[in-house]
Amino acid sequence: MDLDQHVAALSDLPLGGVRYFPQAGSTNDLAMDWANQGAKDLSLIVADEQTAGRGRNGRTWYSQPGTSLTFSLIVKPTLLEHRSIGLFTALAALAVVQAVRSLPGKMDTKIKWPNDVLVNQHKVCGILTETTWIGDRVEQLVIGVGINVCKGSVPSGEILNFPASSLEELAHSQIDRMVLLHSVLLGFLFWRQHLGKRSFLDAWESSLAFMGEQVKIWSLHGSAQLGTIIGLEENGNLLLKDALGNKFSVSDGELHLDHLGQ
């Protein structure tokens, strides 16, 4: 599919601007450059292929031509939104979940805290949010989203940090990447109005993967905490309880399933 011809399909959305690249290094890098040059709120970079896509914690994110939905959205948060600045990644995840749920086929679509979307327990989407600051205020966010749409989008023979798949494989039907992108953006606009509200947290919590299950959270420094997921805190922290029933929360880290021995 030639994404270029379809960018016009987004013209009904209140975007700050749209730039399409058949090939990019990382859409997050292009978006950050554009943001620094004065891009408006909700400006969007879409690429068919990334040659230097980045994931969380220094990982590589693969985007082969014609196979995935790869984009970065620039957000200039309002004063009110600054209170919920840590929730923008979840906002994007909720938008992806809503869009995937509107696809044909009954797929179990959940958010693996903090930033992955799982379909039938396989990772199909990763989100990388990057920010620039002025003093103690976030000036702008770049929310980078990579969705495995076609089979070729899932790297084979690579060490994945979680079992991965693509939407087409799981839905058993063809998916139009531009229709999906439109739907994700609509969801983003919708949930942005709810950011930080109870309705937002309820929607996120009800989409949370592994609720009631024992998981391991690896910190960025390499230490692990074992606990059972019991929900979310208002600030987006994951709430767990340990073997003795004591509650604790984590603000960052990587979630692994304990039974996979990871």
Q: Which residues bind ligand BTN (CB under 6 A)?
A: 26-28, 50, 53-56, 59, 61, 70, 72, 116, 126-128, 144-146
* 131 neighbors 74 (Cβ within 8 angstroms): no
Residue 127 parent element (H or E)? strand 122-134
Residue 251 backbone phi and psi in degrees, to 5: -100, -20
Q: Closer to ligand BTN at the Cβ: 67 or 194?
A: 67
Structure tokens at 236: 């987006």
Structure tokens at 127: 């989100």
Nearest residue relative to ligand BTN (C-beta)? 126
Minimum CB distance to ligand BTN, residue 194 (Å):
23
Q: Closer to ligand BTN at the Cβ: 15 or 194?
A: 15
Classify the phi-psi angles of 231: left when phi > 0, otherwise alpha if psi is within -120 to 50, otherwise beta: left
* 175 neighbors 167 (Cβ within 8 angstroms): yes
Q: Closer to ligand BTN at the Cβ: 142 or 194?
A: 142
Minimum CB distance to ligand BTN, residue 215 (Å):
17
What is the distance between the alpha carbons of residues 19 and 146, in angstroms, rounded to a whole number?
Answer: 16
Minimum CB distance to ligand BTN, residue 8 (Å):
21
Q: Closer to ligand BTN at the Cβ: 71 or 194?
A: 71
Minimum CB distance to ligand BTN, residue 237 (Å):
19
